[in-house]
Amino acid sequence: MTRGCRIVLSIGLVLSVVASLLSVVQPRVLQNLVNGIAAGRSTLRAATLLTLLALGTAAVQGLQGYLVQRGAESIARGMRDRLVSRYLSRTVAAHDRANSADLLSRASVDVNVVKNMVSAGLIPIVGAIVMLVGISGFMILLDPILFLTILVAFLIGLAIVVSKGRSVRKMSLDLQTSLGSFAASVERLLAGIRTVKASGAEDSEREKVGVQSVHVWTEGVRLARLVSLIQPLVNLCLQGALLVVVILGAMRLSSGRMDVGELLAFLVYLFMLITPISTLSQSYAQLQMGFGALDRIMEVDGLDEEDFGLDASTGRRRGVSIEFSGVDFGYLEGEPVLRDCSFAIRPGEKVAIVGRSGSGKSTIVELIERFYEADRGEIFVGGRNVSSMPVSELRSHIALVSQETETLTGTVRDNLAPGTHAVSDDRMRTVLRQVGLCGPDGRLDLDLDTDLGQGGISLSGGQRQRLAWARLLLGDADILLLDEATSHLDPQTEAAIFALLNAHARGRHARGRHARGRTVVMVTHSETAAAIADRVLLISGGGVRKEGTHRQLLRESVEYRQLRAESRRSEESPISLEIA
């Protein structure tokens, strides 16, 4: 919470107390007004004072409501910013285990519940307590016996609220969890809407999401049932007290122990008493729901966090080495993907990593990027152990293009320069033409401000990959990681992309200190990519089975020849469909 936010809420809290005090004084002034009328005295002063008190109370309450709501919005904003910061600092492995829709629900629905807890729970309680104490004091002065009747009713109502409070918190937590699961189901449906429609699975998906919707409804109804019982029970206690007060008050009035003004003031206080008691019961329920949501928000702190470290120098160091030394890694415990994997890539070298599906090729890229941490062994980049490098420093030297390129929701410009470096529009357009995102006449298929839709939905797989290549060419990374980076490209475009890669890796478009080549790691099934590499690493059995040039491996490795033959057959074989 910022200092400004604390000041705003503090002022709102003070105004809440002031409004309560102004409200509490009014029945006493009303008592003097009624007694003055009954005695035939002038009541102008009392009437004026009562009017000013009423107007002042309304003005203070209006300002207090605005300040409290503004402070609550500021708290919500801070919590949303904090959650986004937490999401960005968490490891890729933590995000893989988490549910993105549930995380979204925490940053939206749960934060809104906490905001309501502040505005309708925490702050109103203070004003309600002040009003309750003030009213009780004046009621005791007016008639202690009648006040005891009210006190019994209040204690019964308080017992009801407290006894149900814990159940409200638990049910609220269950409701927020159900909302998170429902959001996850809807996100899954929308993300795969093409598959759902193409498979004719609308009914089954509707049923699956419907189950989650029923869970939300059930939890919501349970909570509503409990909350709706609290207020009527409290009101019933107050109404019983009112009936007793009217009867006893009439008796005391007829016996001369109380005058009309005192009875009227006491009844007004009794009606006023309903407000703080109702506020306390509602605020208590709101607090329990807010604490439940707050528990879910705080759970995000339990996700594994990356070590960004201090701002590190990101000066270019063309030609960065990469070394794996005895690395073990598995996504699941007891199921290793890499076992005692060791290899070294020289500065400025272009290396292709090949192997069968599931052999661990892409895992090597993810470990270099520190999306995951090795279970055993050491990984060095530029001679430094990556486990001791802040990830911000490490990734400042790396550019990545993957097979399933993730496109950011937004414009072409947003996707070309998502980081902090500034790139001119002319440079962006030039690179877009170089990667083939233009027509035969040289006109761009996509303008820089073209909206690509949710997750780049308007782009084909090839366009997404070429857009990622354009981002790589605009950057200034020392290490280029390419994970099946041409899988969606036709052979002609692939050849053009590799020509751009060679020029970029050698630093042809760079000047001065950028004259040395970049280190390139290509995970690939493409024979073209393997052929242009300085060296090929054949991954099998969790480590490097064989290494050498493409020609050497063709001569010396049976497994490599089999891979190449299988790759050619998969590229050349026509697809046949047999319809029964």
For residue 299, pLDDT beyond 60: yes
Six token digits for residue 213: 């919707």
Pairing verdict, β 322-329 and 376-381: antiparallel
Lowest-confidence region among 289-293, 419-423, 481-485? 419-423
Query: In the predicted model, what is the mean pLDDT of residues 253-273?
Result: 81
For residue 112, pLDDT beyond 70: yes
Six token digits for residue 315: 């000066």
322-407+477-572 topology per CATH? Rossmann fold (3.40.50)
**How far, in Å, are 24, 54, 489, 503 from residue 47 at the CA level?**
16, 11, 86, 90
> What is residue 354's predicted lDDT score, i.e. its pLDDT?
94
Query: In the predicted model, what is the mean pLDDT of residues 421-427?
Result: 77
Query: In the predicted model, what is the mean pLDDT of residues 269-288?
Result: 77
For residue 231, pLDDT beyond 60: yes
Residues near 106 by Cβ (< 8 Å), separated by ≥ 6? 83, 180, 296, 297, 299, 300
For residue 450, pLDDT beyond 90: no
1-143+258-306 topology per CATH? ABC transporter transmembrane region fold (1.20.1560)
DSSP string over 258-289: S-HHHHHHHHHHHHHHHHHHHHHHHHHHHHHH
For residue 510, pLDDT beyond 60: no
Residue 316: which of 480, 509, 514 has the closest Cα? 514
For residue 579, pLDDT beyond 80: no
> What is residue 508's predicted lDDT score, i.e. its pLDDT?
46
pLDDT of 134-191, one tens digit each? Answer: 888 888 888 888 888 778 877 777 777 677 666 777 787 788 788 878 887 777 777 6
- Reported as a pLDDT band with limits 50, 70 and 90, residue 307 is low
Provide the percentage of residues in the chain whose pLDDT is more than 90: 18
**How far, in Å, are 316, 431, 473, 478, 512 from residue 507 at the CA level?**
12, 15, 11, 10, 10
Residue 362: which of 262, 220, 483, 271 has the closest Cα? 483
> What is residue 576's predicted lDDT score, i.e. its pLDDT?
43
**Distance between CA 359 and CA 378 in Å, rounded?**
19
pLDDT of 62-93, one tens digit each? Answer: 998 899 888 888 888 888 888 888 888 877 77
For residue 529, pLDDT beyond 50: yes
> What is residue 523's predicted lDDT score, i.e. its pLDDT?
93
> What is residue 514's predicted lDDT score, i.e. its pLDDT?
39
For residue 465, pLDDT beyond 50: yes
Top mean-pLDDT range of 482-491, 519-528, 561-570: 519-528
> What is residue 46's predicted lDDT score, i.e. its pLDDT?
85
Lowest-confidence region among 32-36, 125-129, 404-408, 533-537? 404-408
pLDDT of 356-397, one tens digit each? Answer: 988 999 999 999 999 899 999 999 999 999 988 888 888 888
For residue 512, pLDDT beyond 60: no
| CA within 13 Å, CB half, 213 | 7
Lowest-confidence region among 19-33, 296-310, 420-434? 296-310
More confident residue, 452 or 399: 399
- Reported as a pLDDT band with limits 50, 70 and 90, residue 317 is low
Pairing verdict, β 322-329 and 338-345: antiparallel
For residue 49, pLDDT beyond 70: yes
Mean pLDDT of the chain: 81
For residue 443, pLDDT beyond 90: no
> What is residue 195's predicted lDDT score, i.e. its pLDDT?
65
Q: Which residue has the tokens 């008796």?
A: 251
Q: 128 with 297: CB under 8 angstroms?
A: no
pLDDT of 493-503, one tens digit each? Answer: 888 888 888 88
More confident residue, 308 or 302: 302
Query: In the predicted model, what is the mean pLDDT of residues 283-292?
Result: 79
> What is residue 515's predicted lDDT score, i.e. its pLDDT?
38
